[in-house]
Amino acid sequence: MNPVLIVYENDRFAQLIQFVLTTAGYQVAKSNDPLELFEKVKELQPPLIVMDVFFKNIDGLYLLERLYGIKEFATIPVFIVSSRNEPLTVFDALERGAADYLAAPINEDMLIEKVNKLLKGN
């Protein structure tokens, strides 16, 4: 199976998610640059993308929308795991196509459960 792609500028948060997923037995590829998302997706063909919505140079929700606008990427589930917990952000992410949303603080069991569910559905 191709690796799950995680995309975060916050390296500590990325390392936490990477640790949880690798401990659960998943292969993980990591990117700290949201602007290389399309390149990484094309290269890795991940079965799942786990990403934030809060980036310095680009709106993560816009990035999500653009990703789903590309036919070859439209079927890859995107799981938003973010420190942003405003109801409008969650609603907006789901409206723009996110497969699921988990807000911090992160419950590791819930993270693994949601990843398992999303990968079974893909």
pLDDT tens-digit readout, 67-108: 999 999 999 999 999 988 889 999 999 999 999 999 988 899
**Tokens coding 45:** 């063909």
Domains in the chain, ordered, with CATH?
Answer: 10-75 (3.40.50.2300)
Residue-level pLDDT at 93: 95
What is the sign of the dihedral through the CA atoms of 51, 52, 58 and 61?
Answer: positive
Query: Residue 83: which residues within 8 A CB-CB, separation 6 or more?
Result: 13, 52, 54, 103, 104
The rounded mean pLDDT for the chain is 94
Residue-level pLDDT at 122: 58
Residue-level pLDDT at 20: 97
Phi, psi dihedral angles at 77 (to 5 degrees): -70, 140
pLDDT digits 0-9 by tens, 11-24 = 999 999 999 999 99
For Cα atoms 79, 4, 19, give the angle at the middle one, nearest 5 degrees. 90
Reported in sequence order, the residue ranges of 3-106 that DSSP labels E, i.e. its strands, are 4-7, 28-31, 49-51, 78-82, 100-103
pLDDT digits 0-9 by tens, 21-76 = 999 999 999 999 999 999 999 999 999 999 999 999 999 999 999 999 999 999 99
Q: Which of 92, 85, 89 minimizes the C-alpha distance to 106?
A: 85
Give the β-pairing of 28-31 and 78-82: unpaired
CA separation for the pair 56, 97 (Å, rounded): 22
Tokens 């969650």 correspond to 90
